[in-house]
Structure 1
Amino acid sequence: MNEKRERILRIRDLSISFKTESGHVNAIRGVNMDLYKGETLAIVGESGSGKSVTTKAIMGILANNGTIESGSIEYTWYDEFTGEKHTEDIVKMSEKMKQKEIRGRKIAMVFQDPMTSLNPTMTIGKQIMEPMIYHYHKSKEEAYKEAVELLNLVGITDAEKRMKNYPHQLSGGMRQRVVIAIALSCDPYILICDEPTTALDVTIQAKILELIQDIQKKKNLSVIYITHDLGVVAKVADFVNVMYAGKIVEVGSVNEIFYDPRHPYTWGLLSAMPDLDTDDTELYTIPGTPPNLTVEVKGDAFAPRNQYALNIDLRLDPPMFYLGGTHRCASWLCHEKAPKVEMPEQLKKRILKMKKEAEESGN
């Protein structure tokens, strides 16, 4: 981790709503988030918690029925010629500017399913070359040479031959490598990975994660991972943002979140991780369902599912409580006057086991 951390992305009070047949969905409700140069931030939470919507807003690719109601997404970069520092609010940028300056060029995204990202009618080579020609006006010869280098970088053998292949001629793992090559083709500063290994089998998953980490080190990239897989988070993240019902409910370093979680929702997520050594016959699941965001949420959105909920949770939304270091948590249980509530005993045992394993492996 960098000694002098340089913030590259700053999101403040971001609120996003969608018009649907069921009504107005308040999908993102006042999100604050920071990403620093060279670091990896993981955003975790159940499906529908707002992880992907947040990152699509960063890319400027919200669906047509989505509206940014308030907030800012400030992106900082240095001019490649003058070295001058610039900070710009992506929310205020025109569609044309987002297309020209942000998407693919400064911020790139690797999606969950490579087949939805690749054009089945175009060769792999053409798809990698296209962003370089569009953004940097490179000649076809130059773009071709760099595309071959990128295919080698992402671990595709016989790169020249693969340039002529179509997506259906490659395996799932190779297609995802191609998607990563396309994402890297314009040397972005930020790489957003939206569940990048979900569609792949376990052995390929590990290789893709290692590949992204290797490239991150080589290029000093800042990476945002969107995932519900806490096993992936433990492997790749420096910092973690836990999301629930369109809000960030806990923030901290990977050690703070895994070894000292404070929000009952984070307790639930960690308890639901599969574990071969557990005595339980059934996998833990968080009771209840996420709230309906077409209705205004009163108090803490997690309260109806929270066995530790206090009276105040039903009336007031908790603020972020500072817990030391980089650790913050939006739960009334963190208030100095709140009753002392311990995490579940089974989770305590699991955390002790994770700590022991980490110490033994030297992490």
Structure 2
Amino acid sequence: MREKILEVRDLVITFNTSAGQIRAVRGVDLDLHKGETVAIVGESGSGKSVTTKAIMGILSNNGTIESGTIRYTFENQGEVVTENLLDFSKKQMRKTINGKHIAMIFQDPMTSLDPTMSIGNQIIEGMRTHYKTKKKEAQKKAVELLELVGITDPKSRMKNYPHQLSGGMRQRIVIAIALACDPDVLICDEPTTALDVTIQAKILELIQDIQKKTGISVIYITHDLGVVAKVAEYVNVMYAGKIVEKGTVEDIFYEPKHPYTWGLLLAMPDLDANPDKLVSIPGNPPNMAHEIKGDPFYPRNRYALHIDKKEEPTLIAVSETHAAATWLLSEHGPEYALPVELEKRIDRMKEEARNYVTG
């Protein structure tokens, strides 16, 4: 049995801005089970980071959670409890949940690290705060964590400051800080975006390796489906503040049902595709300051139906693991075929996967 530890239901978040009220998240449902990796993928502005910041209780001051629940199951003083994190104040979240149970790795390590504190002090800070760990014991664990994340000569590195390290090493330090209090959930918000390709691969492998050793659950936020293919078991595709398709990684990559997912897959770099043709999704995401009528993807969707202009589709089940919010799946939907280019792309991905397993 998969043990659910995090359940988000009907989450709605708005922001008050100079341009008016923006509804950034419009009814998100999300599940995370023990030890699994879930990816949230979509363009910038789709609501990925806002959703996870709400889970962490670190929304900016102009953000308001209009409705929804975030139920988290964790051990508290020897007893397993399930709490709605939205009932916690920011102070309670910092004291009880953040770092201790749910930790987060941000996109740019330099914004996560304090330039005035040594690496060692930044790693032991959480242990000293949450568990009142003695300094020597915390320092010993900090050295072990630096070894775990692949930092050479960890004892010497404890004395270093962020500016003395490379980008890849700084991101490893951020991971060590996130793991310092043995959290149950690790949220990775575009953890490799600021790094070069070789370092990206190493960081992804590192997080996977740590997950195998610790059994931690991981949520990845990314716009890069290449990253998703490497790390995720389950995928949530977000568009305009909602999840428009969700399923296993095989469902999303081999049997995609939403035209937006088709566009994301076609936009992935492919060495075997026509080098003269760069595929992109036409148009721009909707302005979330305006009321959305119908399917928000309608203006960019060449497979759109007349009903898309009037009514927004809900998630329609394809299988036990797979669902998509598109009228193409409704009982009155028309017969349709995947774009030819996408069928070829999926065939190549399946072939690569077979070669990877056999090779």
TM-score by length of structure 1 reads 0.97
Q: Which amino acid aligns with 2:234?
A: F
Q: C-alpha separation between the residues in 2 aligned to 1:175 and 1:282? A: 37
Q: Does 1:114 align with 2:109?
A: yes
1:355 alignment partner in structure 2 = 350
Q: Return the match for 1:103 from 80, 98, 102.
A: 98
Q: Return the match for 2:154 from 159, 183, 199.
A: 159
RMSD: 0.9
Q: Which amino acid aligns with 1:72?
A: T
2:229 alignment partner in structure 1 = 234
Q: Which amino acid aligns with 2:27?
A: G
- What SS does structure 2 have at the residue aligned with 1:300? coil
Give the drift of 1:325.
2.8
Q: Return the match for 1:207 from 202, 205, 214.
A: 202
User: Gaps spanning 5+ residues in structure 2: where?
Assistant: none
Q: Aligned pair count?
A: 358
Q: Which amino acid aligns with 2:38?
A: L
Q: C-alpha separation between the residues in 2 aligned to 1:200 and 1:91? A: 34
2:313 alignment partner in structure 1 = 318
Q: Return the match for 1:189 from 151, 169, 184.
A: 184
- What SS does structure 2 have at the residue aligned with 1:347? helix
Q: Return the match for 1:286 from 281, 297, 304.
A: 281
Q: Return the match for 1:36 from 33, 38, 41.
A: 33
Q: C-alpha separation between the residues in 1 aligned to 2:354 and 2:151? A: 35
Q: Which amino acid aligns with 2:315?
A: M
1:14 alignment partner in structure 2 = 11
2:86 alignment partner in structure 1 = 91
Q: Does 1:76 align with 2:48?
A: no
Offset from partner CA, 1:165-198 (integer Å, 9 cap, x none): 0000001100000000000000000000000001
TM-score by length of structure 2 reads 0.98
Identity of aligned residues (%): 66
Give the drift of 1:40.
0.3
1:45 alignment partner in structure 2 = 42
Q: Return the match for 1:56 from 49, 53, 57.
A: 53
Offset from partner CA, 1:35-62 (integer Å, 9 cap, x none): 1100000000000000000000000000
Q: C-alpha separation between the residues in 2 aligned to 1:282 and 1:352? A: 19
Instruction: Give every structure 1 segment of 4 or more consecutive aligned residues whose post-TM-superposition deviation is greater than 4 Å.
Output: none
Q: C-alpha separation between the residues in 2 aligned to 1:33 and 1:340? A: 30
Q: C-alpha separation between the residues in 2 aligned to 1:173 and 1:280? A: 31
1:143 alignment partner in structure 2 = 138
Q: Return the match for 1:330 from 294, 316, 325.
A: 325
Give the drift of 1:280.
4.8
User: Gaps spanning 5+ residues in structure 1: where?
Assistant: none
